[in-house]
């Protein structure tokens, strides 16, 4: 909405001093109305009569002081502010700014809608396709259970394999066709996309040594089994709400068991 501007030196201007406080009160109210209605400083007599019961006397005072000019517009009598266009924004400029603001907001809404569609498309792509997981390491058929090579009894036993080190959850972790088939058989009541997203968010946010795993597919399967168990307990009233159901009774839950069991119960809403 436009503003009716009043100069901070108005109190000392000779025209305002000559008009007096009652007439200047009408001047300010009429200016506010004209700015709101975009009449470029023209005020009809019926509006002035509504603003001031003594409008005839005060309007005549403003005309004598040089602040108003008697005028007629579209068959209605009234008054026009002196030099309105030099001190107040015109109706044309106000309408142009409003149109520019509407166009700006339209572009912002289009950009937000496009960005939201891109995010949903990326989520669908991540769930829809990913590289298949490599087959687990197969035993070497040329090795006996005692570590000697077949046909080479004098060969020295191989060095013991180094233990695999855990890693954080991959940024591109996604389920593939084999994992979906496993879930249909072992976790049929689980909302697979939602629980997978919860699994990714949980382990991405987690810190410390417990945030690393040697086999993330196995960790995902364990998560889905627990989600399947909780889905079967929904009708019993013992289901822990929210993400706490995935940390309750876990090996990496510092509150599970012992003297801290009471604290764990409070932390998970009292449902064990």
Residue 69 β-bridge partners: 80
Across 208-234, average pLDDT: 88
Report whether pLDDT(22) > 80: yes
- pTM greater than 0.75 (yes/no): no
Select from 66, 87, 108 the last residue of a domain: 87
Cα 252 from Cα 257, distance rounded (Å):
11
Contact 78, 45 (CB under 8 A): yes
| Position 51 in a domain | yes
> In the predicted model, is pLDDT for residue 105 greater than 90?
yes
Do the domain assignments include residue 32?
yes
Please give the structure tokens belonging to residue 68: 């108003």
pLDDT in tens, 125-150: 666 655 555 555 666 555 555 444 45
Mean per-residue pLDDT over the chain, rounded: 79
Mean per-residue pLDDT, 232-246: 54
Out of 24, 55, 87, pick the residue that ends a domain.
87
Residue 218 in domain: yes
Q: What is the pLDDT of residue 126?
A: 66
87-100 pLDDT, tens digit each: 899 888 888 888 89
Is residue 184 situated within a structural domain?
yes
Mean pLDDT score, 247-258: 44
Name which residue leads in pLDDT, 24 or 117. 24
**Alpha carbon distance 97, 112 (integer Å):** 23
Query: Helix or strand or coil: residue 76?
Result: strand
What is the Cα–Cα distance from 30 to 180, expressed in whole angstroms?
A: 72
The partner residues of 167 in beta bridges, in order of sequence, read 213
Per-residue model confidence as pLDDT tens digits over 32-48: 999 999 999 999 999 99
Tell me which of 50, 67, 87 is where a domain ends.
Answer: 87
Q: Name the CA dihedral angle for 143, 149, 154, 158, rounded to a multiple of 10 degrees.
A: -60
What share of the chain in percent tops pLDDT 70? 71
Asked if the structure places residue 157 within a domain, the reply is no
170 in any annotated domain = no
Average of per-residue pLDDT across 154-163 = 68
Specify if 116 maps to a domain.
no
For residues 189 and 232, the answer to whether their CB atoms sit within 8 Å is: yes
Q: And the tokens for 52? A: 């001031």
Judge whether residue 84 has pLDDT over 70. Answer: yes
* CATH number of the domain that residue 21 is part of: 1.10.10
d(CA 152, CA 140): 15
What share of the chain has pLDDT > 90, as a percent?
Answer: 49
Convert the pLDDT of each residue in 176-211 to its tens digit: 999 999 999 999 999 999 999 999 999 999 888 788
For the chain, how many structural domains are there in total?
Answer: 2
Closest C-alpha among 73, 78, 88 to residue 47: 78
Task: Indicate if the pLDDT at residue 73 is higher than 50.
Answer: yes
Q: Domain containing 58: what range? A: 10-87
């Amino acid at each position: 909405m436009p503003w009716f501007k009043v100069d901070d030196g108005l109190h000392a201007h000779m025209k305002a001093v000559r008009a007096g406080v009652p007439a200047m009160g009408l001047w300010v109210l009429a200016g506010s109305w004209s700015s709101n209605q975009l009449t470029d400083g023209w005020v009809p007599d019926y509006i002035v009569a509504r603003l001031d019961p003594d409008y005839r006397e005060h309007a005549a005072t403003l005309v004598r002081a040089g602040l108003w000019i008697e005028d007629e517009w579209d068959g209605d009598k009234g008054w026009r502010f002196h030099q309105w266009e030099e001190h107040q924004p015109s109706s044309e400029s106000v309408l142009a700014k409003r149109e520019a603001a509407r166009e700006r907001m339209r572009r912002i809404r289009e950009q937000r809608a496009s960005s939201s569609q891109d995010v949903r498309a990326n989520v669908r792509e991540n769930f829809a396709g990913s590289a298949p997981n490599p087959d687990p390491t197969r035993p070497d058929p040329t090795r006996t259970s005692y570590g000697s090579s077949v046909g080479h009894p004098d060969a020295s036993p191989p060095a013991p394999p180094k233990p695999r080190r855990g890693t954080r959850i991959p940024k591109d972790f996604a389920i593939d066709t084999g994992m979906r088939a496993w879930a249909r058989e072992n976790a049929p009541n689980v909302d697979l996309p939602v629980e997978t997203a919860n699994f990714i968010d949980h382990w991405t946010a987690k810190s410390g040594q417990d945030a690393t795993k040697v086999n993330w597919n196995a960790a995902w399967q364990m998560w889905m089994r627990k989600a399947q168990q909780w889905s079967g307990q929904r009708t019993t009233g013992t289901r822990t709400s929210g993400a706490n159901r995935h940390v309750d009774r876990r090996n990496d839950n510092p509150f599970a068991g012992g003297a801290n069991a009471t604290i764990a119960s409070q932390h998970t809403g009292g449902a064990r």
